[in-house]
Amino acid sequence: MNNKILISVVGPTAIGKTALGIHIANYFDTEIISADSRQFFKEMNIGTAVPSPEELSAAKHHFIQQISIEDQYSVGDFEKEAISKLTELFLNHDVVVMVGGSGLYIKSVIEGLDNFPDINPEIRKKLNKILAKEGLQPLQRKLQNLDPEYYANADIENPHRIIRALEICIGTGKKFSSFRNQKKSQRNFKTIEIGLTADRQIIYDRINQRVDLMMQAGLLEEAKNLYPKKHLNALNTVGYKELFSYLDNEIELDFAISEIKKNTRRFAKRQLTWFRKNDNIHWFDYKSKPEDINAFISEEIKKLH
């Protein structure tokens, strides 16, 4: 197994990861693991930019729309299932491709996760109630007080991360940061990490264009169908929550669309901040020829062997 290679393709949303992943998978005659946590859910399609039927038939994909928004599914669940699937795929392939923009999910496969103790679920319920009633700010202040080290580096606009850190702090009486960066699992494959990027304005223009295309493709109708379940955690995400506010008559449709664009741009900025901290990523301009990237990967594979 030690000569098996995982090729990880990362980058901000709407940059072209899906198309590049398919090129690489076809070149190496292999399959793709998706590491996009929003594409796991079968009820969400347009708003999560799930690969088209043509793309899915161009290369075999795993972890696309495999669970329900009703299911509890954590990054730890994904790590276990992805490693199991990789072990199976490596029986017939020397190379497997992983494509996605969910940094923590990607990291879980490449490096393994930190081990956290089990926490009383009532703590999370209480924190979610505070979030629903008072918003994110009181939780941010609480985290800054309990764990200033983590707060300084955390994505403090992400309620899931804030609540996760707080429940560990409260449940253990120790800082969340004290459980991080422990010795990780050893992986029996090597990883080559490829990143796609572009000037910020190009990324933003591509995002704005994609949101317009999603609306044309029926995103509002999809949100209407999901509206009765809007309380579910999986649906508290960009593209849906803004349209739920419109359906609640809180905002106009044009404003909801502009908010989707703005929040997606913010999301892309956070993705880039996360990935830029990783010195192992080899960056390519989004217009790079797939043939050139495949040639680069082939050379990297030779070095690893």
d(CA 123, CA 111): 28
Residue 221, beta-bridge partner list: none
Can you read off the two tokens belonging to residue 53? Answer: 């039927």
Which of 169, 162, 127 shows the shortest CA–CA distance to 146?
Answer: 169
Phi, psi of 74 (to 5 degrees): -110, 170
Distance in angstroms (rounded) separating the CA atoms of residues 171 and 165: 10
The helix/strand/coil state of 10 is strand
48 is in an annotated binding site: no
Residue 17 annotated as binding?
yes
The CA angle 231-271-207, to the nearest 5 degrees, is 80
Tell me which amino acid residue 12 is. P
Q: How far apart are the first and last CA of the chain?
A: 12
Helix or strand run (H / E) with residue 2: none
Alpha helices by DSSP H, listed for the chain, are: 17-27, 53-58, 75-89, 103-110, 121-134, 137-146, 148-153, 159-172, 200-217, 219-226, 241-247, 253-276, 290-304
Tell me 283's DSSP state. Answer: E
11 is in an annotated binding site: yes
Is 171 within any annotated ligand binding site? no
Whether 18 has a binding-site annotation, put simply, is yes
Q: Is 16 annotated as a binding residue?
A: yes
Cα gap 155→143, rounded to integer Å: 12
Torsions phi, psi for 297 (to 5 deg)? -60, -40
d(CA 234, CA 44): 9
Give yes or no for a contact between 17 and 24, defined as CB atoms under 8 angstroms apart.
no
d(CA 107, CA 83): 12
Q: Which residues are annotated as a binding site for substrate?
A: 13-18
Binding residues, as ranges, are: 11-18
Binding positions for ATP are 11-18
